[in-house]
Homo-oligomer: A and B are copies of this chain.
Amino acid sequence: MRDERFCASNCSFTRAIGTIGNKWKPIIINVIGTRTVRFGQMDSIIPHISRKVLTEQLKELEEDGLLTRIAYKELPPRVDYRLSEKGLAFLPILESIKEWNLKYEVALTPKENDRITYSK
Known: A5-B47, A15-B105, A93-B97. 10 other contacts (CB 8 A): A3-B23, A13-B30, A14-B27, A15-B101, A17-B97, A21-B21, A22-B22, A89-B103, A89-B104, A93-B93
Contact flags A10-44 to B (C-beta < 8 A → 1, else 0): 00111111111111001100100000000000000
A90 in the interface, Cβ–Cβ < 8 Å?
Answer: yes
CA distance A105 to B9 in the complex (A): 13
A92 at the interface (CB under 8 A from B): yes
CB<8 Å pairs between A and B, sample of 30: A3-B23, A5-B47, A6-B23, A9-B47, A12-B101, A12-B102, A13-B27, A13-B30, A13-B94, A13-B98, A14-B27, A15-B101, A16-B100, A16-B105, A18-B23, A19-B101, A21-B21, A21-B23, A21-B26, A22-B22, A64-B106, A65-B106, A86-B104, A89-B103, A90-B100, A92-B96, A93-B93, A93-B96, A93-B97, A93-B100
A45 to chain B: closest CB distance in Å?
A: 11
Interface string of A41-77 (1 = CB under 8 A from B): 0000001100000000000000011000000000000
Cα of A16 to Cα of B26 in the assembled complex, Å: 10
